[in-house]
Amino acid sequence: MPRWPFTEEHEQLRRSIRAFVEGELAPQADQWEASGDFPDWVFKRMGELGYLGLTYPEELGGGGGDYLCNIVLAEEMCRCNSGGVAMAVAVQTDMAVPPLYKFGTPEQMKRYLTPAIEGNKIFCLGISEPDAGSDVASIKTVARKVDDGWVINGSKIFITNGRRADAMTLVAKTDHDAGHQGISLFVVDTDTPGFEVRRTLDKLGMRTSDTAEITFTDMLVPDDALLGKEGEGFYNISWELQGERLVGAAGAIAGARRSFEAALAYAGQRETFGRPIGKHQVIRHALADMATEIEAAQQLVYAAAWKVNRGEYPVREISMAKLLTGEVAWKVVDKALQIFGGYGYAMEFPIQRAWRDSRLIRIGGGTDEVMREVIGRMEGF
């Protein structure tokens, strides 16, 4: 029987995605990790299979599915054995592109959304800056209105897909004195004069995901680059962040479960003092804690996703899911590495990659500290 909140249709989709991920992506993960990059054909292939537009209407090229389809995709992408690939795809499906559908004009959807669903346009999301991360209101990138459009100056950092992207969903200030009401969204082609990828960052984990620093110097974009209404960008991007956080939580805890399963199998094979290490109470209890914490965190993710699927906007539950899964995923993978011992620390074993990749969820999309602030305020403090 399908596990709540999924249906048999979701499980059919899961089997299809799993066959693709394990058959076409996972065999190349080691090579991609060694090179620090993966090829753009991944997006094209996923577009051909319909995996980049699972929830969009069929008339736009999507699959017409519900929100839970994206949770299935996030869970199954962890089987590609490369957190960077999974994250790059998630930016396309759940972070940079959704605002196009929710706030875009028919012309913008035709020009950008449908090609993104097809995998013909790769997107990045331009929010974080050198002096502004989770505090979106503090961004300094400015869009100044001129007769023939907008002139944009500023910079962004930690931009996933930033080097390879064809287009960016960009957050910029359009009115310095209007506070939150002075922020707007734009959709920008990356070949626009003035758009420059300054560098690609060298990271601890998510090695295959290109993460860029980008500058805008007198970049002129047309009037129709404005995405949604002027001055509503803060609220629109706050909506987007909820989807980013929930799909990140789903992927993180699914990845943690895979690390737990690997540690469980290893504990049954590795022997010390004449018996498998899993028979020693200290290891058995560690595995019991890992299984319990994974189950609790995953159920919180599913409860939040179920509410989203019903049309609710459960910021409190999403924030809790993001916070809990980040901490649990990191703790579980760290314990898994400990169970593997010296082999876990060796680069030839994949658990070290999971250990490095799992740390980002506690920073990206809103830090643990920000999640606690959101939850505390919603509890009345």
Residue 176 has pLDDT above 90, yes or no: no
Length of the chain: 381
Q: Kindly name the residue from 244, 261, 317, 379 that is annotated as catalytic.
A: 244
Q: How far apart are CA 224 and CA 5, in angstroms?
A: 40
Contact of 215 with 268, CB cutoff 8 Å: no
Supply 51's token pair.
Answer: 């995996």
Residue range 193-226, pLDDT digits in tens: 999 999 999 999 999 999 999 999 999 999 999 9
Report pLDDT for 120. 98
Contact of 353 with 337, CB cutoff 8 Å: no
Q: In the structure, what pLDDT confidence band is assigned to residue 134 with cuts at 50, 70 and 90?
A: confident
Q: What's the mean pLDDT when you consider all of the chain?
A: 97
Active site annotation includes 244: yes
Residue 133 has pLDDT above 90, yes or no: no
Q: List residues bridging with 195 in a β-sheet.
A: 216
Domain extent listing, the chain? 8-122, 124-229, 235-378
Residue 15: its H or E element: helix 8-20
Does CATH place domain 8-122 in 1.10.540.10?
Answer: yes
Of all residues in the chain, the percent with pLDDT exceeding 70 is 100
Q: Kindly report the CATH number that applies to the domain delimited by 124-229.
A: 2.40.110.10
Residue 135 has pLDDT above 90, yes or no: no
Distance of alpha carbon 133 from its chain centroid, rounded?
Answer: 15
> What is the DSSP code string of 306-344?
HHHHTT---HHHHHHHHHHHHHHHHHHHHHHHHHHTHHH
Instruction: Taking residues 68-90, report their average pLDDT.
Output: 98
Helices (H), the chain: 8-20, 29-35, 41-49, 68-77, 83-90, 98-103, 106-108, 114-118, 233-269, 281-309, 315-340, 342-345, 351-357, 368-378
Report pLDDT for 177. 86
Residue type, 145: K
Q: In the structure, what pLDDT confidence band is assigned to residue 321 with cuts at 50, 70 and 90?
A: very high
Would strands 183-189 and 195-200 be described as parallel, antiparallel, or unpaired? unpaired
Q: In the structure, what pLDDT confidence band is assigned to residue 362 with cuts at 50, 70 and 90?
A: very high
The CATH T-level fold of domain 235-378 is: Butyryl-CoA Dehydrogenase, subunit A; domain 3 (1.20.140)
